[in-house]
Amino acid sequence: MATFTKDPKVQTFALRLSEFDPNNNKWVSAIISLLSGKAERNWDDNAISKANSELIEIILRYKQDILLSDFGDIVYKNVSNEFQSVIKNANNSISKLDKAEKQAVLLTMLEDLMEV
């Protein structure tokens, strides 16, 4: 499961998710420790808050890495050159939206792709 990314934190996150056991919640502690950067015995309100905010970021990176791993014969590094006009058209289409609206539109498009 962790072979689709080169990001060590995403790899560890994927491994922790694979340890899911409905009868044992140790995997939850492992994820919180990963995201907070602190061992469970050192958790405080700041560590939990950091873990919550990191969770959003790591889920986005996780989803992105999954999508990037499934490009078939397309080399991701070449996408910006090979699909320059498509990218320009997409940017033009959302150029009048504010940042939050752009993110919402693009995330919705990614989620639609992931459901296929």
Supply the pTM of this predicted model.
0.54
Q: What confidence score (pLDDT) does residue 24 get?
A: 83
Evaluate whether 62 touches 10 at the Cβ level (below 8 Å): yes
Tens digit of pLDDT at every position of the chain (116 positions): 455 677 888 888 888 888 888 888 888 898 999 999 999 999 999 999 999 999 999 998 888 887 777 676 777 677 778 889 999 999 999 999 999 999 999 988 888 876 64
Give the whole-angstrom CA distance, residue 6 versus residue 86: 27
Q: How far is CA 98 from CA 15, 102, 104, 110, in A?
A: 36, 6, 10, 18
